[in-house]
Structure 1
Amino acid sequence: MIENFVGEFMRDTPSGLSALILGLVFLGFLFEKLPPAAVATAGAAAFLLLGYVSTDEVLEVFSNPAPITIAAMFILSSALVSTGVLDAASSYFVGLSERRGPIALVLLLLGAALASGLMNNTPLVIVLIPIISKMAQALGIASSKVLIPLSYMAILGGTLTLIGTSTNLLIDGVAQREGMEPMRMLELLPFGLVALVVGGLTLLLLGPRLLPSHMVSGEAIDDSTTQFMSEVRILAPAETEATGRPLSDFSALSKTRVLGILRGTERLKPGPDVELFPNDLVIFHANQSELLTLREHPNYRLGYFKASKPSTDQQKTEKLEAVYAGDAGSSGRQLRDLDWFKAGVRVLGIARRKHNPGPALSEVRLRAGDRILLEGSPADLAGILEEESFAAASEPRLRPYKRHRAGLAILTMAAVIGLSIFNVAPIVTLSLLGVGAILLGRCVEAEDAWKSIDGSILVLIFAMLAIGRGLDNTGVVQSLVDAVTPFLQDVSPLVVLLAIYALTSVLTELISNNAVAVILTPMAIGLAGSLGIDPKPLIYAIMLGASASFATPVGYQTNTLVYAAGNYRFADFLKVGLVMNLVVGIASCLAIWAFTGI
C-alpha cells in the first residue's frame, strides 16, 4: 500500500514536487541551519515559482484573521507589562512566599497557567522567571526544580481558551478557510482543564524526582532584576513644606527598598513611623523601570548632579546605561570629586553585582563592572564616554511604568476576552479595537507596541499558510487523507483521536507548531469527512497536541526561555517531558472523546 502511495506521487508531478518541497521545509526546520521564518518563506516562494499557488492566492493569505489577531494580542499583552500590572502581580507572589512557603510556589504556577489562557505566555514567562527563581532561593529549593514546571504550566494554561496560544488562533483560521464555523472563546475549556489538572498533578508527583537539582549560576535573562542604588530629593509646594508624608507612601508608589534617609547631617533608619519632609534625601534600591518612573514624578528629584539645579531640566536630554571598565584617574575617588563629571549630567543610579555601591551616590567609588545609568545632553554624554573607560554604552532597555494607565489596560483586556466569550463580535475585531484603545490611552508607547510583535512568527505563519494553499491545490492533502483513511477505517473514534494527537505532538517536538497546525488541520478535516465523523474533535486534538510540547527545549518558546535561564541539559527535558507528553496526551484525548461523544 505504501509503495502504491509513493508511486502515485511520482507519477503525479505537482503532488510529487509539492511533497518534496514540504519535506525539504521540514528538514530545514529540523536542522535549524536557517531561521524557521526564512525556511518557510523559501518554501512558499518555491510554490509560487512553480505556479502551484497564484499571486492572488498568496495575497489572500494576508487577509487571514489569525495572524492579525495574534499581532493584536502581542500588543495587548505588552500593555500589561508597560503599565506594571505583571510586575505588581509578581511582587505579590514574592511577598506571599515569605508568608506561606512552598504553597506560594504552587499558587504562582497556577496563576501563570490561568494568565496564559488570557494573554501571550512568552512575556509572562519572561517576567516570572526571575520572580520564581527568587522564591525558590528564599525557600532553599533549586531553581531547576521550578523553571521547567513554570514553562509547562504556561503551556497547559494556553490550552484553556482560543486566545491562549497563537497556534489555537491559527488553527481556527485555517479551519474557517476550510468552511468550518468560528470557534468560541471557551470552546476548549473542558479539555484544557483536564490537561491542566492531569499535567499539574504529574508535575507535583513526579517533578521532584525527575527534575535536576542545581542552582542557577548565570545572570537573569532580563534587566528587571538588576537593582540600582539611587536617591531622590523630596520636593513639595511652598504651602506644604511643613507637612510630612509617610515613608510607606513613597515605598508603595515606587516599589523600592529604602536603605536610609539623610536629613541634613542626620541619617535616619527607615521604619513605619518615619515621615518624609521637603529636602530629605532618600537612598534606595530599585530596578531600571522604577528609576525611570520616579524620574518623571513631580514630587521627587532623582539622582545626583553637581549643579544646584541640573541643566537637564531645561533642555533635550538622553539616557544611557554604561558599564564602567576602570580608569586610573578615577580609581578610589568619590563620584563628587571626579573632574570629568559634567555639571549638566545626572547619575540616575549605579548597580554593583551583589554589593551596595555606597552610602549615597555622591560617595560612590566606581569599580570595574559597575553599571551606571546616566542622563544628560547628547554632547555632555558623548564627552564622558570619550574621556573615560566604559566597556559598553546603550540606551536603557526598560521604560518607566505607566501605572496610572493600569486600570485601562486591565479593562481593555477584560473587555476583549469577555465580549469574545459572549460572541458579541469576532475576536479579530475586538482585539483590534482593544489595540486602538490602549494606544489612544497611552498604556504603551506606539514604538514599544510595534516592538512587542514577534515579526518572525507572523512571517512564518503567512508563509506556511501559502504552503498549505499550495498543498491543497496540488492534491497533496487529499492524497494524505486517502493514504491514512484505510488504516483508520475500522478503528474506534478514540483511536483516531489518539493517532491525530500523537502525530501532532511528535511533529511539534521537531519543528514549528504553527507549521504543523497549518499542514495537519486540513488533513484532519478531510479525514473526518472520509470517516463520516465530526471534524471538530480532531481539531481539538490538534490544538492540544500542537501546544503540549514538553520533551524538547526547542518545541515551544517558553521551553527555550527556561532552558537558557535554568542552565538545563537537553536530557532534562526528555526525562520529564516524555512522561508529560504521554500522560497529558491520553488524558486530553479521553476528555475530547467523553465530552464530544464522537
Structure 2
Amino acid sequence: MSQVSFWVFLSETSGLISTLMLALVFLGFLFEKLPPAAVATAGAAGFLLMGYVSTDEVLQVFSNPAPITIAAMFILSSALVSTGVLDAASSYFVKLAKRRGLSALILLLLGAAIASGLMNNTPLVLVLIPIVIKMAQSLKLASSRVLIPLSYMSILGGTLTLIGTSTNLLIDGVAQQAGMEPMRMLEILPFGLSALVVGSVTLFFLGPLLLPTRASANETLDDEAIEFMSEARIRYSGEHEKDAEGGDRPLSDFTALSRTRVLSVLRGSERLKPDPDLLLTRQDLVIFQANQSELLTLREHPRYQVGYYKQRLEPREGASSEMVEAVYAGDARSSGRRVSDLNWFEKGVGVVGISRRGHNPGPELAGVRLRPGDRVLLDGRSGDLSSILHSESFVAATRPRLRPYKRHRANLAIFTMALVVALSILNIAPLVTLALLGVGVILLTRCVEAEDAWNSIDGSILVLIFAMLAIGQGLENTGVIKTLVAVIAPYLSDASPLVVIFALYALTSLLTEMVSNNAVAVILTPVAISLAASIGMDPKPLVYTVMLGASASFATPIGYQTNTIVYAAGGYRFSDFLKLGLVMNVVVGVASCLSIWFFAVR
C-alpha cells in the first residue's frame, strides 16, 4: 500500500480508529492501572498525534470557563475551611449528638446535602468524615454505617445547584461551547430537589437494612482527629498581675477561644478541677487537649503562652523560628526520661504539644516521659531544631500540615461565598466572573493563605477535564458523535420525550458507574444536544438528564469522587456499594427523569 493510499485509508477509517481510542481510554479508567488524569492525557495526546484534533483546538480547550470556575470554587470552599466555619459547624453537631442522639446525625447529613449545593462537595466530605465518625462513636455505631450515607447525601445535594459539583459546571461549559445559553444557578433545583427527597427517604428506610457493620482501620483518620496534650499560661502586658490587659480571667474565656478540652488547672502543687468560673492567675497552668489546628490557633493568641519552654522564651522568637511535627522513635538517651530533664531547651527550643494514641501522655508537658510512637510538636530556630532532630531518634519530621484557623475572618468568607451565589442567582454576571472576583477578595483579605488556596485545587480533576475536552473535540471532528446519534435516533424518533429521557439517563448512569463522571459528561453532553436536534426536541431537558445521571452515582466506589474517599475511610468492600447503591440508582433515576419531564417538557 502506497503512502498516499495509506493516509486515504486512515482518513476513511478515522471514525473507527477514534472510537477504538475512546474505548481504550474507557478501559484505562475501568481497570485503574494508571490514574484517570494520566489515562485521559494519554488519550488526548493520541488524538493530537493522529491529527484528529489540532494544536489550536487543544489550546482552545483551555478557554472553556468550566475548569476555571471549578478551580475558583475549590478555593472559595477552602476559605470556609481555613476560617474555621466548617469546623465550628461540625463542633456544634458533635455536641448535639451527645444530647439528641441519632436525630443529630440525620440533621448533619441533611445539612451536608444543603451545603453541597452551595460549595464543592469533595472538600466538604473530607472535612466531615472525622466529625461523622466521632458522632457515630458517641452513638455506638460503626463508621461503616454512616460514611456511605454521608457520601450519598453530598452527591444528592450536589444536584441542587450549578456549583454543587464540578460535573454540573463542566456540562454547562460543554453546552455553552455547543451554542446553548449559560445555565442559571438554580436552574436544576426542581430536579435535584426531587432526587434529594426520594433519595433521602430511601436511605433512611433501607440504609439500616443494607449498610454493613464493619470496624474501620481508620477510626481516627487524619490530622484533624488527632489530639495533642498541651499547656498554657496567661501573658501579662503590665507590671501588675491585674492590669487592664492581663488581669485574672475566668477559665471560660480560655475555652471560648477555641475548641479545647481542659483536663485540669495546676496552681503550684495543687491540681484544680476545670470549673468554667475559675479565675486564672499568673501562677496557673492550664492543661488541655486540642487538635493541631486548634492548638496552632490558640498559640497565636496574644493573651496566652502555649507550650513548654524551659527558659520561658517567646515561642516564635527570631525571624527564623519555625515549628515541626516529628514522631519519636525512642533511644537509650531519652526514652523514659521526663521532658524537663532533656537537653533540648538550652537554646530556647520548646515543646508545643505531645500526642499519644489512646492515652493522655502525662499530667503536664514537663512531666511527660516520651515513648516510641509519640507525636511531638517542637518550636524553635531552624538550626536548633535541625540539630535536635538529627541527634535524637525522631522520624517523619515535617512542618504541620494544618494551619491556625482565621476565625476573625470567618464572617468575610461566609459573606463572599454568599455574595457569589446570590449574584449568580440574580444573573448579575457570569458565574466564572463572580467566582474569580470572590477568589480575589478572599486572597486579598487573607481568608486563606495563597499557598493553601493553590493546594486546595485538585489538579488531577482539572487535568482530566482538559484532556477529556480535547478528546471530545476529536470525536466531534471525526464524526463519531454524529454517527452515534444517527444510530440511536431511529429507535427514539417516535418515542415520547419521557422515554428518551429515561434511555439517556440509563446510559449516562451505567457509564458513570464504570468510569469518571467528568469523562462521561464530556462525551454524552454533545450527544444529547445532537440527539435532541435530530428528533426535534428541546436540548435542555436532555442536558439536564446527563447532568443528573452523571452526578447521581451510587452503585460503585469509582463512579464519584466522594464514594472513593469514603471507600477507603470506612473500610468498605466493593459489594457494600452495590447493595444499597443499585437501589438508590433506580429510585433516584426514576424521580429525576419524572421531574425533568414534568418541569421541563410537559
Q: TM-score, normalised by structure 1?
A: 0.97
Q: Report the alpha carbon displacement of residue 214 of structure 1 after superposing the two structures with TM.
A: 2.2
1:290-313, Cα deviation, whole Å (9 max, x unpaired): 111122111111100111325841
Give distance in 1, aligned partners of 2:277 and 2:220. Answer: 35
Contact 1:332 1:365 (C-alpha < 8 Å) held by counterparts: yes
Deviation string, structure 1 residues 95-134 (Cα, Å, up to 9, x no partner): 1111111100110000000000011111111111111111
- Alignment correspondent of 1:396: 400
1:371 to partner: Cα distance = 0.3
Alpha-carbon separation, structure 1, partners of 2:228 and 2:370: 14
SS, match of residue 238 in structure 1: coil
Q: Deviations over 1:27-48 (max 9, x none)?
A: 1111111111111111111221
Q: Which residue in the other structure is 1:269 paired with?
A: 273
Helix, strand or coil: the match of 1:260?
strand
Residues 72-111 of structure 1 mapped to structure 2, 5 A cutoff: 72-111=72-111
CA distance in 2, matches of 1:89, 1:337: 41
**Residue-pair matches, total:** 590
Q: Greater CA deviation, 15-24 or 441-450?
A: 15-24
Higher deviation after alignment, 64-73 or 491-500: 491-500
Distance in 1 between the 2:312 and 2:371 partners? Answer: 26
- Whether 1:359 aligns to 2:394 is no
Letter in 1 for 2:66: A
Partner letter of residue 461 of structure 1?
I
Q: Which amino acid aligns with 1:375?
A: D
- Which residue among 304, 323, 338 is the counterpart of 2:308? 304
1:547 matched to 2:572? The reply is no
Matches within 5 A, 1:194-343: 194-238=194-238, 241-242=241-242, 243-310=247-314, 312-343=316-347
Q: Distance in 1 between the 2:331 and 2:314 partners? A: 26
Q: Which amino acid aligns with 2:198?
A: V
Q: Which residue of 2 aligns with 1:441?
A: 445
**Cα deviation code 1:407-447 (max 9, x no counterpart):** 11000000000000000000000000000000000000001
Q: 2:318–2:381: 8 Å Cα contact kept in structure 1?
A: no
Structure 1 residue 346 corresponds to structure 2 residue 372: no
Report the equivalent of 1:149: 149
The separation in 2 between residues aligned to 1:11 and 1:413, in whole angstroms, is 50
Deviations 1:353-387 (A, max 9, x none): 11101110000000111000111111111111111
Q: CA contact under 8 A between 2:361 and 2:368: conserved in structure 1?
A: yes
Conserved in 2, the CA contact under 8 Å of 1:312 and 1:345?
Answer: no
What secondary structure sits across from 1:443 in the alignment?
coil
Aligned to 1:4: none
| Residue among 402, 408, 414 paired with 1:410 | 414
Report the AA paired with residue 465 of structure 2. I
Distance in 2 between the 1:506 and 1:148 partners? 20
Say which SS state the counterpart of residue 330 (structure 1) adopts. Answer: coil
Aligned equivalents of 1:517 and 1:584: distance in 2?
Answer: 18
Which residue identity is paired with 1:497?
I
Separation (CA, whole Å) in 2 of partners of 1:197 and 1:362: 55
**Cα distance in 2 for residues equivalent to 1:63 and 1:342:** 57
Q: For residue 5 of structure 1, what is the aligned residue in structure 2?
A: none
Q: Which residue of 1 aligns with 2:461?
A: 457
When structure 1 is superposed on structure 2, of 168-177 and 296-305 the one drifting more is 296-305
Report percent identity of matched pairs: 72
| Residues 167 and 518, structure 2, Cα contact 8 Å, conserved in 1 | yes
For the 8 Å contact 1:260–1:269, the answer to whether it is kept is yes
Deviates more, 1:230-239 or 1:345-354: 230-239
1:265-320 Cα distance to aligned partner (Å, 9 max, x none): 33221112212223421110000011111221111111001113258413411211
Task: Measure how far apart 1:503 and its partner are.
Answer: 0.7
**Separation in 2 of the partners of 1:175 and 1:286?**
48
Note the residue ranges of structure 2 that are not aligned, 5 or more in a row: 1-8
Match of 1:488 among 489, 492, 515: 492
Task: Determine if the alignment matches structure 1 residue 12 to structure 2 residue 12.
Answer: yes
Three-state SS of the structure 1 residue aligned to 2:334 is coil
1:467-521 residue CA offsets vs partner (Å, 9 max, x unmatched)? 1111111111110100000111122111110111111111111111111001000
Once residues 189 and 198 of structure 2 are traced to their aligned partners in structure 1, the CA distance between those partners, rounded to angstroms, is: 14
The residue type paired with residue 187 of structure 1 is E
Instruction: After superposing the two structures, state which structure 1 stretch, 327-336 or 367-376, moved more.
Output: 327-336
Go from structure 1 to structure 2 and tell me whether the alpha carbon gap of 1:136 and 1:41 turns closer, same or farther (over 3 Å shift): same
Matched residue of 2:196: which SS? helix
Which amino acid counterpart does residue 160 of structure 2 have in structure 1?
L
How far did residue 236 of structure 1 move? 2.3
Q: Report the equivalent of 2:3.
A: none
Answer whether contact 1:53 1:469 (CA < 8 A) is retained.
yes
Deviations 1:48-82 (A, max 9, x none): 12222111111111010000000000000010000
Deviation at 1:240, TM superposition (A): 6.9
The verdict on how the C-alpha distance between 1:311 and 1:450 changes in structure 2, with shifts beyond 3 A counting, is: closer
Residues in 2 aligned to 1:45 and 1:570: alpha-carbon distance in whole angstroms: 32
CA distance in 2, matches of 1:310, 1:432: 40
In structure 2, what is the Cα distance between the partners aligned to 1:52 and 1:129? 44
> Which residue type is aligned with residue 108 of structure 2?
L
Instruction: Give the corresponding residue for 2:40.
Output: 40
- Please state how far the C-alpha of 1:12 moved relative to its aligned partner: 3.3
Partner AA of 2:105 in structure 1:
L
Deviation of 1:555 after TM superposition, in Å, equals: 1.1
- 1:240 to 1:16, Cα distance in 2 relative to 1, 3 A: farther
Matched, 1:374 2:374: no
Q: Which residue of 2 aligns with 1:126?
A: 126
Tell me the residue number matched to 2:502: 498
**Partner residue, 1:3:** none
Contact 1:159–1:165 (Cα < 8 Å) also in 2: yes
Is residue 478 from structure 1 mapped to residue 467 from structure 2 by the alignment? no
Contact kept, 8 Å, 1:341 with 1:384, in 2: the verdict is no
In structure 1, distance between residues paired with 2:220 and 2:19: 43
Secondary structure of 1:582 counterpart = helix
Corresponding residue number in structure 1 for 2:4:
none
CA distance in 1, matches of 2:315, 2:372: 28
Aligned to 2:533: 529
| Preserved contact between residue 235 and residue 279 of structure 1 (Cα < 8 Å) | no
SS in 2 for 1:529: helix
Say yes or no: does 1:173 pair with 2:177: no
Other structure's SS at 1:124 match: helix
Q: Is the 8 A contact 2:315 2:350 kept in 1?
A: no
Matched, 1:584 2:596: no
> Which sits farther off after the overlay, 496-505 or 48-57?
48-57
Conserved 8 A contact 1:552-1:574: yes
**Counterpart-to-counterpart distance in 2, 1:34 and 1:452:** 22
Please state how far the C-alpha of 1:168 moved relative to its aligned partner.
0.3
* SS of corresponding position for 2:558: coil
Query: Quick one: distance in 2 between partners of 1:525 and 1:10?
Result: 28
Q: Which residue of 2 aligns with 1:383?
A: 387
Would you say the 8 A contact 1:310–1:346 is kept in 2? no
The question of whether the paired residues in 1 share the 8 Å contact of 2:316 and 2:322 is answered with no
2:139 — aligned with what? 139
CA contact (8 A) 1:310 1:345 kept: no
CA contact (8 A) 1:312 1:344 kept: no
The one-letter code matched in structure 1 to 2:53 is V
Bigger mean CA deviation after superposition, 104-113 or 383-392: 383-392
Give the secondary-structure state (helix, strand or coil) at the position aligned to 2:397: strand
1:183-194 alignment, distance < 5 Å: 183-194=183-194
- The code of the aligned residue for 1:523 comes to V
1:57 matched residue in structure 2: 57
The answer as to whether partners of 2:143 and 2:219 remain within 8 angstroms in 1 is no
Give the conservation status (yes or no) of the 8 Å contact 1:312–1:375. Answer: yes
